[in-house]
Structure formats: structure tokens, C-alpha cells
Structure 1
Amino acid sequence: MRKYFWALCAAGTCLSAMAQQKSPAKTYIIKADSVKAHVQPTMYGIFFEDINMAADGGLYAELVKNRSFEFFPSLMGWTEVKKDGGEGSVEVIDRSKERPENPHFVTLTVKSNSGYYGLANEGFRGIGVKKDETYSFSVIARQHADSKIELHVELADANGTVLGHADLKPGNQDWEKYNVKFKSNATVQKAHLNVYAKNAGAIDLDMVSLFPEHTWKNRPGGLRADLVQKLADMKPGFLRFPGGCIVEGRDLATRYQWKKTIGDIDKRENLINRWNTEFKHRPTPDYYQSFGLGFMEYFQLAEDIGAEPLPILNCGMACQFNTGQTVPLDQLDPYVQDALDLIEFANGSTDTKWGNLRAQLGHPVPFNLKMMGIGNEQWGDNYIPRWKIFIKAIKDKYPYMKLVSSLGPDPDGEKFNFLNNTFRGLNADILDEHYYRSPQWFLDNSKRYDNYDRKGPKIFAGEYAAQSVGIASPDNKNNWQCALSEAAFMTGLERNADVVNMASYAPLFAHVDGWQWTPDEIWFDNLRSYGTPNYYVQELYSLYKGTDVVPLKLNNQAVSGQNGVYASAVTDSKTHELIIKFINSGKVSQSAGFVIKGKKLKSTATLITLRSDDLTAVNSLDKPTSISPVQRTIQLSGNKISLTVKPYSMNVIRVKLSN
């Protein structure tokens, strides 16, 4: 958890200086001993999808783009370089019959013993390097007969100044992996990598790779530490992966297939990213998936940050916004078997085929998978019969598995109503609702779940984000108005925790130079990252979700928009706290008095405030915490809490309960 700014506030003082205008005082009643619902540990989590360069160029710390020459064209990201009069040529070799999963490599031919000849790699919108960081270079190489080529690798800035370098002497005429480490002498936002060959002859190269030594938990070939840390700081209840429309693919040939994402890195088949040219406003033809971040890494990441894994699998349907291809029902078996094998991979003993493979990959202990999704954002008649086949096969073999079912891309309308009614009739476990809507929609729908069937399927608010302009608009901003509306809406999720068991903002990550969709929760460049105001809203809910919902009412009604106020309350049996979330979405201050019944309070409370006077305000790489939590301590008198709450603010009140 990040260090919040601390300030002491004298008894009876307000959260912050009073605004010139203030609403009449309101008294809110909290029955702290009356448990309305239990909050699931999975209540607030993370939705990960490889959009906006979230994986390659983002969370996956590889710095070389197109390391195995599988993009189209094969040398995308690479350029020919010469030094000190060196001459040569490069040829892309096709070996698709021998290695269909990794069909290309390059041959560098050097024409003389003087100078250097080779290739430069541009990285993912440049290569970010840090002063004194150690970088691990590796390559799979093969010398040609009678060649004694040496490799010289170096990081250089835009002016050609060398930042760090090392030499390699591949000596084998069979494929072999070679490694070397070196340090950078400067911090550069957009460097590039030069791979030079020296001495006449020829050499084959594949899997040209560069990683910082300091990855998450310092795992070689691992994940970018600052990005994972932001996820860990949230203490999420679950991690949904790998998406998203990535699961479906633009067509079935480009769908996500988990079995192709595990095992040796050089045997993971590259795939064009389905977001590469999806939006005319942000074409990204160089956007591919290396699957260095694959299902084993996802499971490991979930374990690292204490989150339940939630894999989503293709159900035999491609993205319905694109081709909408479907697999005939009598040909669905391989898709179903993938689901069954994944459960065995995650949970099976080492005596099973897939459990044994998990152990070979370094994790003999099962991952304890409890839930998975069947399809992503499917809708219509074609979805139901495929869903039924998956459900029967999985439940027959693994009856404990909770299965997530799609309610389509919208929170209402014909598609939604059809699936909602159908799945309720089929007693589905968990229904996945998505809403990308205006901030006003989020305010208006804070009561959405108040009247849902308490005995029906549980709800997963699987993808949501307030859109400042419109759905998928390139002009959307992660501004405070959007984050504040989401905070207000989430009081309704929390108040109805007996129905809503999971929720996640989406998308999660975006590269400032490589995004396709906005808004997004966390933004980054090659060296830095920051959480948006939306991120801090999610973090505060996740950190202080409590264990039990208790009633918080005004005039005997749930607080959901009265005078612009939204509120919810929980108790935490682990920390022995009462936690109040109080959102003032209006433009005037609120005088709020809380009367706590059924429990006695300690004499102090902790207040955490997230706010801005400017609804259009955003965070940025240069000002990453412009809108971020501020923490204070106040004194209490008896079982009453009296506050004056500023406009446009989210407030979390934590007070210890006496025995």
C-alpha cells in the first residue's frame, strides 16, 4: 500500500476547509450490528487484456520487439546497421515445415573482417533504459561452417551514444542459447539495441532478447516491476485473464489458445494482436502477441498478488463485432477439452498429464482454480447451445467449478434481456455484466442491484468504465468526473454484496504511445507509470472492502443520490473496524452526521479523502498523484461522527470498534 500523506485534524474539524455553500445537516443511521450481506474476498479485482500494449511492451518486460522475426514483414522493428566500414547482408529463412510454431530466423552474412554489420531493434516505441540497471541479453545462435563470427551488442541513444555494451562468441554449429549482461551508464526514454556481427562469415540468429535484471521478484525473463507493484498495492480479490476480446480473436484462427502460451519461450507461437487495426483512429500494425506472458505467468502473477485466478476461454465463437465465426456443435470437442485440460493443469496432481506439466514448469503445488469463464462477450442464440455443452462437461467432472457466463456487451436492451432471462432459467453460477457508459449513467444506476433476485445467479461486473465523451472515443479522459461517478456507483455494488460478488474496471493498462482504447486504469511509458483517479477509487474500495455489509440509511432509505450523496458501510471482522464510504458528487459541501447503533466506537477515526475541485482534472506521468488519497485523523465524541464534506469528493471513514 502506498504511503498516504498524513495530517492531524483537531476534534470537531472537517475533512477540509468548508466551501462557501453548504447543504443543511443530514443525519445518517448506521446499524453496525446488523449484517445485511457478506462481502466476498473476490469483490474487487483486476481485468487484464492485452490491449494498449499491455503485455508486450508493457507488463511483460521484454525490450526487443519482434525478437523471433515472426511479425509481418519479418524484419518489422529491425533495421540494417553498419559500423567502422562493415558490410554484409541479412536474409530471413523460412523453416515452417520444421518449426511451424517458430518458422523464421535470420542469417547475418559479414563480407569482411573489418568493421561491424548487423541489425538494430527499435523496441516498443523505443527502449527505456535506466542508469546503473543491469540488462540481460540473450540470443539463440548457430555458426555456419568455417565462420568465427563474434557478436557485439550495445544499447544506444537517438544520437548513437553508446549506453552499455557486451560481446559474445557463439561457438557451436548447432542451435544454442547464449547470454551476457551489461549495465547502462545513463537513463534514456527511447534507446535502441544494436546487434553487430564481426569477422567474415555467416551466423543464424533467433530469439534476440533483452530484459532488465530487476523484474518483478527479479525473475529472469519476468514482468515489469513497477506495473506489477501497482496491482499488488490494490490487493485485488481476483485476476481475470487473458481478456476480453483477445479470447475470441477476430476470427477463430486468431483466438487465444492457452496451450500455445506455456512451456519454452521459443516454442510459443506468435500471433497478430486482434486490436492492431481495430480502430481507425489508432492503427497499430506492429502489434503482435509473443505470449511470453502466457497462462503459466498469469497463474503465477495471481498467486504473487494474492488474487484468485479467473481464466476466460473461447467457447467456439469468434468476436461478434468482427467475423462472428462459430464452430459447429459437433466439432466443439477440442474447445471443451481445452477447458477440462486447463482445470487439470491448474489443479491436477503431478500424477496427471497436465498437472505433471505444471510441475515441470516449476510449480508442483496446484493453483487451486475455483472459477473460469465460458466465452467473453458473447450474445444471441448461437451462444446458448455451446454454453450448455461446456457446462455439462465441466460440471460432470469438476462440480465445484463456478462458471462465468456472458450477458453480452451492454447493460440493457434486447441482447442483455435475452441472455439474462435464459441464464437465470438455466441456474447459471455467475453472470458477467459490462457497462461502458457516461458518468451520468453511473450515477443514475447506483440502485441497479437493489431489487435483483437474492436467490438467483451472482453478478460479476466484469468490465466497466465511465466514458467522458463516448464509448471507444479517442478523446475519452480518465478525469475526476468519471472516477467520482464510478465511486458513487460502487456504493451500490457494495450495498448489494449478496448479489454482486465480483467487479473490475476495464481496461487495465495503456502505453502512452501505443494505446487503442481510452480511458484506462493505469498509464505508462517506457520507464514510468501512474495510477489514474479511477485507479485510486478502485484501490480504496479494494483495500477497505470489509467483510460484512451493514445498513447505512437516511430517513430509513439507502443513500443513493439524495442531494448528490452516495454511501455504503461495512464492518471488517479482521480489523474490527466500521468503514464508511461517502461520496459527495455535488457542487456544495455536505454536513453529515453519522449515528452508529449496535456497536461502540473508539475515540479516533481515520479519514481518507480523494477529491478535486476540477471535474476535468487528470493525473499524468509528470503529475502522477495530482488526484490521490489524503489521510487524516479525527477525534470522535461518543457514537457520533460529524463531518463537513467538500464537493466532488470520495471519503473513506475508518473507525475502530470497541469490544
Structure 2
Amino acid sequence: MSKKQGKLTIHTTQQGAELGDLFGIFFEDLNHAADGGLYAELVRNRSFEFDPIDHRDFHALTAWEKVERGGGRAELSIEDSQPMNVRNKHYAVVAIHEAGDGVGIMNMGFNTGIPVRAGENYRFSFYARRDESLNEPVRIAIESKTGIVHGEAVVVVDSAEWKRYEAEMTADETNFSSRLTIVTGGTGKLYVDMVSLFPVLTYQGRTNGLREDIATLLAELKPKFMRFPGGCLVHDGSLNPDDRNSMYRWKNTIGPVEQRPSRRNNWSYNQTLGLGYYEYFLFCEDIGAKPIPILPGGYDPHHKRIVPIDELGPWIDDALDLIEFANGDPSTEWGSIRAELGHPEPFGLEYIGIGNEEVGEPFFERYTYFHRAIKAKYPAMKIINSSGPFAAGGEYERGWQSARENGSDLVDEHYYQSPEWFLANFDRYDGFKADEPKVFLGEYASWGNTYYNALAEASFMIGLERNAHAVGLACYAPMLCNVDYVNWKPDLIWFNNHEVFGTANYYVQKLFMHHQGDRLLRIEASGFEEPLSVETKPINGAIELGTDASSVLYSNVKIVNNDTGEERTFADWTAELSDTEEARQEGKAKRFERLCETAWSNYTLHMSAKRTGGPRGFVVAFGQADDNNKLFWEISGWQNQDSAISSRVNGRGSCLTQSLFTVETGVAYELALEVSGRKIRAFINGELMHETEDRLAVIRPLYYSSSVDGATGDTIVKVVNMQGVGVSSHIELEGLPTVGRRRAESYEMSGHSLEDENSFEQPRKIAPVEREFSFDGNEFAHEFPPYSLTVFRIS
């Protein structure tokens, strides 16, 4: 069955906005995306610097074990009195009591262990010294869990001073759960630091390089840019660059890897910084992506750490020095450092971002100083401002206001929403102006890696393309996830220690990157059936009052029908709720209490609310069909600094609007929630806090865009069908000759269940099918299958 045939007309001579660098990728070291992921190092905790500051369960010997063989006895300890360097002070000491058949240490690697493949070579290195037995061999081996040796080498630690030793091993068997052992005999003590094992086969063969399979999957996307190194990782930390938990400071990430300080990763693990700024720039160059580094702006919104204005100089210098490091002539200070690292040519940096998801006046006050200094020295540099992690609201507007006042080139928007939100907001940027700062959609995803999620995102991306006058850059996030270290999902690419696969979302991104085009072409539809509107129903249903991690008291509750003036009062109704840790431990926790159901479509809910204990505040659920389908007003959300209105559809949430607000214990607040159809307003103590609309998706007959590839002259057409039936269409390329045979290619994703996903077992279950075809003249017919994405590239 298919819908009534319509027509898509592409006006090939009517060009629109430039698409520029629209689609790219975003890298942040969460989900072990770097260490244990893209960064090819196979040894975990290689410099014995793991610490409880990284994760409460970590210590200096995490991932290490003592080895004692054939009657050997040894003591394994950690010291820091005579370090290899002052930035990584810890090292392992093997005190040999009885040599036996050998004593030493063993590293467990990431995931199931150290992966090796038969016939492949592995480069081992470490720093070591010993106080006795300087001629005693040290045996290095890759072994199975049961001790079967898959590859080995011997080095002689012949010095009482720290010295680097290297060896290469060839694996004779494939084993993804191996161990690395360092074993010796003799007497005295063996001192070990900076133990490393890399596959020789890294991406582009670089030493200190990247895991080939993951890097190749990224390169195959052909992204226009890569944003790095985060993410909240950028700004969550102390102000002192020498602190273990400092904000991300790029100067700590270049130079010899053994001298790069370990860092607390804010996703609760250790970050070696082996994958640093130089490596990021090299990778961008290798895959043809423009680098977009993001730097902290002197403000940590997580912990309210703020650099005084008169102390911003070093932070601004960091930004200016980074630009010089990337672009400066080798005669400059930082350009010479880049040249010494092996890259005398500039990297051609065009963009720089200041801040990530910042909220609060302190950041925007400081941003101005960065912006002015960068533009004064590098007027052509495109500077990216921030608008917080919400799609709308007070902080979002503050970010845009800052961008307009400062003349920012782009504004970094972030949001993670339900697929229904993306469909409902396909036209989000239609009203944005071409003469204002452009949108950098620096993080976005719908909640899930199913085929349905991917199609919803494809529909939204067509909206991004069609608004290229206002949207300059966009990248899905997060990009990488190690299946054994999940901090966040969904993710674009999933991997373990030896396999990797792209999700359905990945293949959507790949199609849009491969077939972006250089300029929009005018495209119009005619003759299709009207959009499939979800029944426009008002927000009504159950109302519940609740809390999150706190104790609260509700009273003086009433609902007013704004059409008739009718009131429902709950004069004798109170709700005393508690969701504190103590209440949970005692089994007395109660998060919500139902107030009533309402069928009214235009009403105002009034109540008094007081927090009596705990760190957060109030939650008002309304329009509730069940726990997975409702709206809620959360007052004093994350870190007691937010008031936000959100929706939940099929268990997947979308924040509709947010503003800053802090709840104080013992203070009574007068709350009012006004609902009119699907429009919502919220008041605290009579002051308007929120005004938003929970839009329902209107499924269009087709979602479509067209562009021209400047290099080839090809016309590109993208079409998404979000309906459960096929849609027949006539495609006319107006402006092309009407006679002669024309070649074309199509790339189609179709024929899948909406809940289908890719996996290690079926990595390309959902992937585009390519085919070539030809047609006469400038038009052809096509039926777009149910739930499909189709890309045409027409010569």
C-alpha cells in the first residue's frame, strides 16, 4: 500500500545558502572513549597513578597483580620518593625475596584483558631501574589467563638510574583476554614505571597512536570537523592547572607522554592525557576534519569555582597560545613547540570554542574578555559561545544575548530529547536569522540507538540542512562507548577491546556527511496528502505532587478552570513526602502523592510548597497518562540550581525549558502552573518563571532537502519517509536538460523494524543499501518505502 503520488521539484539553477562545514563529529573522553578506546594503549594504569580521587575504588595498583612463580617470593609496593619525573611520582617496586622461577607484576588491561591477534606485532616499553643484579634478564610476555605465552621478549635493566627500555613482540595466537607480565630473577629490587604496550598497527602507523578499527570507522564518516576534548570534561575541575582534578588545560596534554600528568576524569575514572591536543590535531588532519578545540572559560558551573576577573590573564593566554600552537610560524614560541613535536606546518585552525554548556552570569561576564582578546589578535578566528544544555529558557536566552552583544560567530547549543521532540521540532530553526550568530549544534541525540531514533534524527537533520543560513555546524553526541564502561547512552559507536560497530544513528550521520553538498537547492513538494497530525489534545490527566532526594510539604492546593472560573479546592489536603537517603534506608521513602485527575484543557494549579530537608526540591507531575508518559515541573533540579519543565514520552524525556532557581529549606513558595491546551506557564511567588509549549509531532508526507556538490556538479536529494506506508513521488530536476540518459546513485535505509538495532553480532543489520540507476531526461518516479531514508546523487 502506498500514499497518493505527489511531486518533488528540485530547481537546480536556484541555489541557496552555503552548507559549509555543517556536519562533523564530537569527541569527549567519557565511556572510556580515549583510554581503553580510541587511544591504542593496551596497559591500564600504566604509570601507577590511579587514585581514589579518580574513583573511590581506585588505587595505585588497580589493574596490576603480583607474580610469583616456581617458589619465587616477592613484595609489591608503590613508592614516590625517587620518581622518574615530578609530574607522575608513583612507581612500582618489586622487592625480590626468593627468585624461584621469576617474580614480578602483571597487568590486566581493559575490558576482558589485553587483546592480541596472531601474526601482529606489539611494541612494549617501560622505564625501569634496579639496585642489584644489573645483568639479570627481565622477561616480558603476553600470556593467556592460564599462563600460555603468546609472545615474549627479554630486556636487561642495566642501570640504577631511570632508563627507558623497548622491545617488540609478535603474537602467535589470537586472544582477547591476555595479560602482560614483567618477570625477573636475581636479587634486590626492580623499580618500574610508565609500562606501555601498543599494537604496531595503529591508525596511519603513528606511535602513541590510535586504535585502527575505531579510527577507521570515524574516518569513514568523512566529517567536516571534530569538536574536542569535551563536553563537561572541559570545565569541571579546580582552577589550579597543577591539581590532579584541575579543569582540562591543554598545555598539560602535549610533550612526552611520560611527563603528562594524570588527570581525574569527571566521568569517574583516570585520564592519562596520552591522547592530547597534538594527537587531536594530527587525527583531524589525518581524516580531513577541521579541528574545533573547546577551552574552559574560567568558570566551573558544577562547583561554582570562579576565576576573579583580574586573574583571567593566564586563561586568556591559554587560548591565544593554543591558536599560535596550531597556526603559528615555527619562529613563534608555540609554533616552534609544534614544530619540535614533528609538525612544522600549521594545522590551519579556524574555530575555537570558549566554555561548554555554561550556565550563570559568571561565565558570560568572563566570555567577553576572551572574545575581545582573541578577535584583537586573530580577527579571522571564528569564536563559539555557549547557551547551556537546554533547548530553551532563561540560560539559553542569556547565552544568545551574550553572543549577540559580543558578535560571537556561533552559539553552541546542546540538547538530548525524545525522538518525538525531534519530529515535533523539525522546523526549530526556520525563524532564525542569517545575520545573527550561527547555531553550532554541538551535542544532540534522541534517546536511543534504534532504527526509529535514527530516522527521527535524519528528519531533524534535514531541517538543519534547510536552515543552513542559520545553522553552521552540527555533531551527534556522544560519539564513542566502551560497552564495559558505560557512563552515558545512547552513543554513535560501540566497542569492546577487539570489536567495534556503528549504530543505525552512525549510518544516518555517514549518509549526511558523504552527501552534504556545498549549496542548498530550492526544492518544493506538491500533490502529497496533508501532514499526519497526531490528534491535538490538551494537556490533561493525572496530577501528582512529589520530590526528588528531599523532604517537602505541600498545602493550600486548588485548581481553577480558566474558562469557567470553577474551582476545585483541596483545603484539608496536605502531602508530606520524603525521598532522602535516610528515608530510603529506613524504608519510609515516598516520592509522589496523587492529587487528582482533570479533564480540563485550560486550568491553573495553585499550591504552597516548603522543603523541610534534603538537597533538592519539588516535582509537579501533570498531564500524566502513566509514569512513562507525562509532563513535570521540577523545581530545584540538578545541584539545586534549576527550575525546568520537561515531558516524557514512552519513557524518554525532553526538557522543554529551564531557568536558574535555588530552593531554600524552610521557606514557603507559592507555586502556580497554568496549562492552556498544550501551552504552559509556571510562576513562583507570582513571578513568571517559564513559558513554553509541548508540541506534538506532525508527521509530514516526506521530509526533504536538496543541494549541489560544487566539485562534481552532482545534484543531491535527501528524503525521509516517517510514515508506515510507502509514498509514491515524481522527482523533477528542473533546469537540467530534458533529453539524454542520466546516471544516478541511491543510498537507502529501509525495511527494518522501528526497534531494530545494530550489534556486535550484526554490526550492519541497519546500513544503507547502494544501487546505481539511470533515467531519461530530467525526471523519474520513485516510491519511498515505509520508514525510510533515501539519498539520491544525480550526475
Give TM-score, length-normalised by structure 1. Answer: 0.90
Q: What SS does the corresponding residue of 1:24 show, helix, strand or coil?
A: strand
Q: What SS does the corresponding residue of 2:3 show, helix, strand or coil?
A: coil
Does structure 1 residue 463 correspond to structure 2 residue 447?
no
Give the corresponding residue for 2:520. Answer: 549
Aligned-pair distance for 1:98?
8.1
Contact 2:699/2:723 (8 A) holds in 1: no
Give the corresponding residue for 2:157. Answer: 170
Letter in 2 for 1:462: G
Residues 88 and 97 of structure 1, relative CA distance in 2, 3 Å threshold? closer
Does structure 1 residue 516 correspond to structure 2 residue 487?
yes
Residues 612 and 424 of structure 1, relative CA distance in 2, 3 Å threshold? farther
**Worse-matched range after superposition: 373-382 or 49-58:** 373-382
Q: What SS does the corresponding residue of 1:141 show, helix, strand or coil?
A: strand
Contact 2:134/2:156 (8 A) holds in 1: no
Give aligned-pair identity as a percent. Answer: 39
Aligned-pair distance for 1:221?
2.2
Give the corresponding residue for 2:341. Answer: 361
Give the corresponding residue for 2:747. Answer: 608
Contact 1:96/1:102 (8 A) holds in 2: no
**Worse-matched range after superposition: 111-120 or 586-595:** 111-120
Give the corresponding residue for 1:296. Answer: 278
Letter in 1 for 2:424: D
Aligned-pair distance for 1:146?
5.3
Contact 1:116/1:196 (8 A) holds in 2: yes
Choose which of 257, 269, 281 in structure 2 pairs with 1:265: 257
**Worse-matched range after superposition: 353-362 or 593-602:** 593-602
Give the corresponding residue for 1:347. Answer: 327
Contact 1:141/1:176 (8 A) holds in 2: yes
Choose which of 19, 22, 28 in structure 2 pairs with 1:43: 22
Query: What is the CA–CA distance in structure 2 between the aligned matches of 1:524 and 1:448, rounded to whole Å?
Result: 33
Give the corresponding residue for 1:10. Answer: none
Aligned-pair distance for 1:197?
1.9
Give the corresponding residue for 1:316. Answer: 298
**Worse-matched range after superposition: 182-191 or 433-442:** 182-191
Give the corresponding residue for 1:4. Answer: none
Give the corresponding residue for 2:70. Answer: 84
Give the corresponding residue for 1:579. Answer: 716
Aligned-pair distance for 1:91?
2.2
Residues 256 and 308 of structure 1, relative CA distance in 2, 3 Å threshold? same
Contact 2:80/2:89 (8 A) holds in 1: yes
Letter in 1 for 2:762: K
Give the corresponding residue for 1:100. Answer: 86
Give the corresponding residue for 2:144. Answer: 157
Contact 1:61/1:215 (8 A) holds in 2: yes
Query: What is the CA–CA distance in structure 2 between the aligned matches of 1:531 and 1:564, rounded to whole Å?
Result: 29
Aligned-pair distance for 1:638?
2.1
Residues 254 and 611 of structure 1, relative CA distance in 2, 3 Å threshold? farther
Aligned-pair distance for 1:454?
1.3
Query: What is the CA–CA distance in structure 2 between the aligned matches of 1:26 and 1:331, rounded to whole Å?
Result: 63
RMSD value over aligned CA atoms?
1.8
Query: What is the CA–CA distance in structure 2 between the aligned matches of 1:205 and 1:328, rounded to whole Å?
Result: 42
Give the corresponding residue for 1:8. Answer: none
Query: What is the correspondence of 1:599-638 to structure 2 with a 5 Å cutoff?
Result: 599-600=736-737, 602-638=741-777
Contact 1:480/1:612 (8 A) holds in 2: no
Aligned-pair distance for 1:175?
1.3
Letter in 2 for 1:117: V
Give the corresponding residue for 2:793. Answer: 654
Give the corresponding residue for 1:3. Answer: none
Does structure 1 residue 185 correspond to structure 2 residue 164?
no
Give the corresponding residue for 1:486. Answer: 457
Aligned-pair distance for 1:116?
0.8
Give the corresponding residue for 1:52. Answer: 31
Residues 173 and 593 of structure 1, relative CA distance in 2, 3 Å threshold? same
Give the corresponding residue for 1:11. Answer: none
Query: What is the CA–CA distance in structure 1 between the aligned matches of 2:745 and 2:415, rounded to whole Å?
Result: 33
Residues 481 and 391 of structure 1, relative CA distance in 2, 3 Å threshold? same
Choose which of 103, 112, 120 in structure 2 pairs with 1:117: 103
Letter in 1 for 2:225: F
Query: What is the CA–CA distance in structure 1 between the aligned matches of 2:142 and 2:316, rounded to whole Å?
Result: 46
Give the corresponding residue for 2:682. Answer: none
Letter in 2 for 1:109: A
Give the corresponding residue for 1:13. Answer: none
Aligned-pair distance for 1:398?
1.0
Structure 2 unaligned segments of length 5 or more: list them. 52-58, 240-244, 532-697
Query: What is the correspondence of 1:433-444 to structure 2 with a 5 Å cutoff?
Result: 433-444=413-424
Contact 1:612/1:627 (8 A) holds in 2: no
Give the corresponding residue for 2:373. Answer: 393
Query: What is the CA–CA distance in structure 1 between the aligned matches of 2:133 and 2:454, rounded to whole Å?
Result: 64
Query: What is the CA–CA distance in structure 2 between the aligned matches of 1:331 and 1:555, rounded to whole Å?
Result: 60
Q: Which runs of 4+ in 1 moved over 6 A?
A: none
Aligned-pair distance for 1:114?
2.8
Query: What is the CA–CA distance in structure 2 between the aligned matches of 1:95 and 1:414, rounded to whole Å?
Result: 52
Contact 1:609/1:650 (8 A) holds in 2: yes
Contact 2:6/2:527 (8 A) holds in 1: no
**Worse-matched range after superposition: 301-310 or 561-570:** 561-570
Contact 2:42/2:114 (8 A) holds in 1: yes
Query: What is the CA–CA distance in structure 2 between the aligned matches of 1:600 and 1:499, rounded to whole Å?
Result: 32
**Worse-matched range after superposition: 548-557 or 263-272:** 548-557
Query: What is the CA–CA distance in structure 2 between the aligned matches of 1:66 and 1:251, rounded to whole Å?
Result: 23
Query: What is the CA–CA distance in structure 1 between the aligned matches of 2:434 and 2:350, rounded to whole Å?
Result: 22
Does structure 1 residue 451 correspond to structure 2 residue 451?
no
Contact 1:147/1:202 (8 A) holds in 2: no
Contact 2:399/2:411 (8 A) holds in 1: no
Query: What is the CA–CA distance in structure 2 between the aligned matches of 1:146 and 1:608, rounded to whole Å?
Result: 66
Query: What is the CA–CA distance in structure 2 between the aligned matches of 1:600 and 1:432, rounded to whole Å?
Result: 42
Letter in 2 for 1:269: P
Q: What SS does the corresponding residue of 1:190 show, helix, strand or coil?
A: strand
Give the corresponding residue for 1:249. Answer: 236
Aligned-pair distance for 1:325?
1.6
Contact 1:22/1:589 (8 A) holds in 2: yes
Aligned-pair distance for 1:600?
2.9
**Worse-matched range after superposition: 347-356 or 105-114:** 105-114
Aligned-pair distance for 1:154?
1.3
Q: Higher Cα Rg: structure 1 or 2?
A: 2
Residues 266 and 596 of structure 1, relative CA distance in 2, 3 Å threshold? same
Aligned-pair distance for 1:100?
3.2
Q: What SS does the corresponding residue of 1:460 show, helix, strand or coil?
A: strand
Choose which of 387, 397, 401 in structure 2 pairs with 1:417: 397
Larger RCO of the pair (alpha carbons < 8 Å, separation 6+): 1
Contact 2:115/2:178 (8 A) holds in 1: yes
Aligned-pair distance for 1:145?
4.5
Alignment length, in residue pairs? 614
Q: What SS does the corresponding residue of 1:485 show, helix, strand or coil?
A: helix
Query: What is the CA–CA distance in structure 1 between the aligned matches of 2:402 and 2:336, rounded to whole Å?
Result: 39
Contact 1:152/1:198 (8 A) holds in 2: no
Choose which of 115, 121, 129 in structure 2 pairs with 1:142: 129
